Amino acid sequence: MRNGVLGFIVVMTAGASLAWGQSPPTGGLGSPSIIPPPLPEMMGGYPGGGPNGGPGGPVDYPPPLNWDGLDPNGSNGAPGAGGGNNAGAIPRLWIMGEYLFWAPRSTAYSAPLLTSGSATSMGAVGLPTTNVLYGQNVANFDFASGARINTGLWFDQYGRLGFNVSGFFLENKQENYNAVSSETGTPLLARPFFDPSLGANTSYVIGAPNFATVTAFNRTQTASYGVEGNFLATLLRTSSERSFGYTLGFIAGFRFMSLSDTSEIGSQSDLLLGGAVLLNNQIFAPFNTTATTVQSVGGGVGGVGGATVTTTTTQTISNISLFLYDRFKTQNNFYGGNIGLYNQFRFGSWSIGLTGKVALGSMHQVVETVGSSKVTNSTTRTINTNVVAPGPVVTNSSSTSTTSQNFLGTGGIYAQSDQLGRYQRNTFAAVPELNLTLGYQFTPALAGYFGYTMIYMSNVVRASDLVTGQSVTALQPTSATFGTFTNVPSRNMFPSSSFVLQGFNAGFSIRY
């Protein structure tokens, strides 16, 4: 499928394209429609004269345009009308701004990432009481807003050779999924996985009754932008004496494009009384202790009778939380040479353009994986002292102190210690682009455009493809078998995929 799309766009590239910065229609709305002259006449000259004003003189190839004829309310003179060195000249500088409404290609998770179940299934996939809440699904980013700017300059007054720079960016798109259990820990929520060392589906429970309440999240996001600089060469342009026209040009330059993806999987489990977790083979569980001492002190107050001192010490470890976090981030930066064709059909003040181009070069891929497990606990100590002396004298005092501790483990559920870190490589890639545009020339200097764009990137690595749903239990810091020997399977850190941007764009251009 990927090769078919690439082949289609390359064929379209060889066909035609829109001339960004090329002059729009050369005739007014009322100008007559004349059949374009044959190629020999275009190369040899016009019957009405050339750009230097000489009757029947030769015309430089390709023929220049008559910019005055672009004004629907202005004159419709022939090329070279009025003579002089500037006869037939066009504006040489342009800038174009567009609003983009593009849809980045969705991404997919091949494995279940969050389940609910019973106390017997524990959320393991494949059992009758297990329900998949998230995973095995497509993360759809819908449409994203963005902007594209294109500016350039013709080197000569007839628009034969030029150079342009353009760039675009899109807003970051994000899909979120959240699940929260009740205050009693229902329903049971778990992170399912396949353990290749055991050859079986299993799970890690993150929330359940009499264990913990939990807040779980899954976050997927993508962002893209690009910039390119191209030389423009007009290969063919029909006569500017008519309202209908045609332009064909060649594009050659350099292109950069960037795509970044992030997949985050996390949870916070707050333990209930009776619950317990392991981290690095250490047990953490909430508890309450109370100790009371009573002591009689002789002598009393003012030397009469005695005093009773009662001290009550309460120590509580009730705030124990387990944080699990996995993040997979990918960065794809493309650098390559760009070639293509631009094509424009002009009908009075209207124009239809088609641009096809393809960039071939190197895709620099970067993969970053982060995984962590953390337990935090808070210990509160309260001391109440009560002194009772003979007579009406009673003295009470109280003090409270709280201390917190953090305990860290390396690796989470899906991002494990054997794959944490930063990986990079370079591979060959192609980035074709297709643009279809409808334009209208309001004045000689101002035009409006509406169009469709599709950009394809081959050989990219996407974050969701790294979330395979496999996890080795003995590599999980929260497991009872953590640290035991196991044969860790090799992992593919650069699964190859593709990416498509497509959508609508609208904007204006100003030319001087």
Long-range pairs for 117-124 at CB < 8 Å and ≥24 separation?
Answer: 117/188, 117/190, 117/203, 118/188, 119/188, 119/208, 122/188, 122/190, 122/203, 122/205, 123/188, 123/189, 123/190, 123/191, 123/192, 123/203, 123/205, 124/190, 124/192, 124/201, 124/202, 124/203
Q: Which range marks the domain in which residue 495 is found?
A: 2-511
Tokens for 204, please give them.
Answer: 């890690």
Report the domain count for the chain.
1
Per mean pLDDT, which range of 204-218, 261-275, 376-390, 494-508 is the poorest? 376-390
What pLDDT score does 390 carry? 63
Q: In this model, does residue 459 exceed pLDDT 70? A: yes
**pLDDT score at 297:** 63
Sorted by sequence, the CB contacts under 8 Å of residue 151 that are 6+ apart come out as 93, 94, 95, 96, 164, 165, 166
Ordered DSSP codes for 96-162:
EEEEEEEEEPPEE-SSEEEEEE-TTTTT-TTSTT-EEEEESSEE----EEEEEEEEEEESSTTSSEE
> What integer pLDDT is reported at residue 24 of this predicted model?
39
More confidently predicted of 115 and 156 = 115
Task: Please give the pLDDT value at position 488.
Answer: 77
> Three-state DSSP class for 30?
coil
* Cα–Cα nearest to 494, from 330, 370, 263, 362: 330
More confident residue, 98 or 238: 98
Distance CA 465, CA 109 (A): 7
pLDDT in tens, 222-274: 999 999 999 999 998 876 555 688 889 999 999 999 999 999 999 999 999 88
DSSP labels, 355-404 = EEEEEEEEEEEEEEEEEEEEEEEEEEEEEEEEEE-SSS-EEEEEEEEEEE
Q: Is 213 helix (H, G, I), strand (E, B) or coil?
A: strand
Higher pLDDT pick, 458 / 387 = 458
Q: How many CA atoms lie within 13 A of 135 on its CB side?
A: 23
Mean pLDDT to the nearest integer, 44-54: 36
By mean pLDDT, which of 42-56, 116-130, 370-384 is the weakest? 42-56
Site of tokens 């389940």 = 115
Give residue-wise pLDDT tens across range 148-174.
999 999 998 888 899 999 999 999 999
Query: Which of 467, 358, 431, 439 has the alpha carbon at shortest distance from 111?
Result: 467
pLDDT of residue 158: 81
Averaged pLDDT of the chain: 81
H helix or E strand, kind and range, residue 5: helix 2-15
pLDDT at 396: 73
**Does residue 387 surpass a pLDDT of 90?**
no
Query: How far is it, in rounded angstroms, from Cα 55 to Cα 331?
Result: 61
Is the per-residue pLDDT at 385 higher than 80? Answer: no
Q: What is the pTM assigned to this prediction?
A: 0.78
Top-confidence residue, 467 or 74 = 467
Q: Could you tell me the pLDDT band of residue 1, with boundaries at 50, 70 and 90?
A: very low
* pLDDT at res. 116: 96
- Per the CB < 8 A criterion, the answer to whether 400 and 378 are in contact is no
Tell me: the pLDDT tens digits for 293-304?
776 665 544 444
